[in-house]
Amino acid sequence: MRHSFRFSGTGGQGLITAGIILAEAALLDDKLAVQSQSYGPEARGGSSKAEAIISDEPIYFSRVICPDTLLVMSQEAANKFIADCDEHTTVITDTLFVTDVPGKYGKRVDLPITHTANTVCGKTLFANIVALGAVVALTKCVSKEAILKAVLNRVPKGTEEANTKALEAGMAPVSYTHLRAHETGAYL
């Protein structure tokens, strides 16, 4: 099994932290993982991306060329990072910020990520953990136990309960009323 991920959005959304947590969860599951990140010079608001590759086999090239899973948390990220995708890429969008995903991809899953974070945890800053839960639930790339442990290892003290709720909300896509797979037009 080899799966590549790109999490993209704007600075301040916690996507780099989400990429680090996903790679750590893979290691906790005794898989191999590499993780990289890049962001604009702005502290907040500029574009950012985190990439991870998880594999059972050695990883000889650590760059994501065409992601298997692309998470886009802003319209700018959708416009910028879709170019590397192909018909095998699953694109996961945050419905609050992304309305259009131009270009070629295999499947698109729209989720109310930020809305869910605000509803479940009372703050939108937990959106990265909701998104991480959704990515794990959709790809099954790591175990629930490993992702929970990795989240709890990385979040600030005093936020463990809220982050656990956010992760569980993201991992329960059946609770979303607007989950839609665009390649078929059918609701999941």
Residue 65's identity, in one-letter code, is I
Mean pLDDT score of the chain, rounded to an integer? 89
User: Which pLDDT value is given to residue 38?
Assistant: 85
User: Which pLDDT value is given to residue 28?
Assistant: 98
Per-residue pLDDT tens over the stretch 17-71: 999 999 999 999 999 999 999 876 655 667 789 999 999 999 999 999 999 999 9
Closest CA relative to residue 141, chosen from 49, 27, 62, 48: 27
Of all residues in the chain, the percent with pLDDT exceeding 90 is: 81
Q: Using CA atoms, how far apart are residues 3 and 31, in angstroms rounded to an integer?
A: 11
User: Which pLDDT value is given to residue 113?
Assistant: 96
Q: Using CA atoms, how far apart are residues 57 and 31, in angstroms rounded to an integer?
A: 8
Mean pLDDT for 149-173 is: 95
Q: Is the pLDDT of residue 12 over 60?
A: yes
Three-state SS sequence of the chain:
CEEEEEEEEECCCCHHHHHHHHHHHHHHCCCEEEEEEEECCCCCCCEEEEEEEEECCCCCCCCCCCCCEEEECCHHHHHHHHHHCCCCCEEEEECCCCCCCCCCCCEEEEECHHHHHHHHHCCHHHHHHHHHHHHHHHHCCCCHHHHHHHHHHHCCCCCHHHHHHHHHHHCCHHHCCCCEECCCCEEC
Q: Which residue has the tokens 């959106």?
A: 127
